[in-house]
Structure 1
């Protein structure tokens, strides 16, 4: 009887941990982004759950230049390393997709309204919009 009690006490935290992992947003994880002109891999980003249940993404690796800086950025981000820079923030679940966020385009240093859609477990479409005009970029999940 005592062994069953100990086994149960050990199993409960593991069960809770696995349940919280299953509850994680499906967009959370590492994704590869691509240059919109050449199609070549550009960044590895970490999509994570931020405060308030929103989704954000930060650069964890620059594939085109290891020490790249954001020369086009303005303000506090000007000439700062792209690595660890948050480039997407404030996305909220909106039915099957995400909306209400902001995305920073490192190539020109400008921010745009953002939305997203998980196309499959391995493809995430991120859109930056200016009014009704949106540009889409497909990110692929890193394994």
Structure 2
């Protein structure tokens, strides 16, 4: 009986390649990174359904911040509004460039313990956010005291 082992190294190499490829594909979601709220979002008016602003969310050292990049105004509205009802450093600050979302840190699937500023009334609320619809939408909740006593908006990802 003549045994031929000449294919053994090739077979072993093929098995190793297949194993390596399978391991790489399994780890791909980890390499791709988890979905993040970082990006450009459109805020839509709850009543009219019309766009109100574009907000750029950035993440630095695990903390989210959101800044208004653009406002959508009607023909009779000031195209460069100021936050005249805001207090402190934001008093009369231009709305474009205003940081309205800050201090949010990741807790599981949500970002919590942050603040959101409503430039229309100048009030600051506690906030939490989480991605929905495969990261295409962002649920933004502002509240006083406990999250149950607040309201949510859905922002739409632009990029």
User: Which range, TM-score by smaller chain?
Assistant: 0.7 to 0.9
Stretches of structure 1 that go unaligned for 5 or more consecutive residues are 1-20
- Are 1:130 and 2:148 counterparts? no
Aligned residue pairs, count? 122
The normalised TM-score by structure 1 is 0.78
**Do 1:25 and 1:49's aligned partners in 2 also have CA atoms closer than 8 Å?**
no
Which whole-Å CA distance do the structure 2 matches of 1:70 and 1:24 have between them? Answer: 35
Q: As a proportion of its length, which structure holds more strand?
A: 1
1:31 alignment partner in structure 2: 41
Which whole-Å CA distance do the structure 2 matches of 1:125 and 1:47 have between them? Answer: 13
Q: CA deviation at 1:25?
A: 5.2
Superposition RMSD in Å = 1.7
The structure with more radius of gyration? 2
Q: 1:44 aligns with which of 43, 54, 76?
A: 54
Stretches of structure 2 that go unaligned for 5 or more consecutive residues are 1-30
**Do 1:87 and 1:103's aligned partners in 2 also have CA atoms closer than 8 Å?**
yes
CA deviation digits over 1:39-75, x for unaligned, max 9?
211000101013x320110000011253111121112
1:66 alignment partner in structure 2: 79
Which whole-Å CA distance do the structure 1 matches of 2:122 and 2:48 have between them? Answer: 19
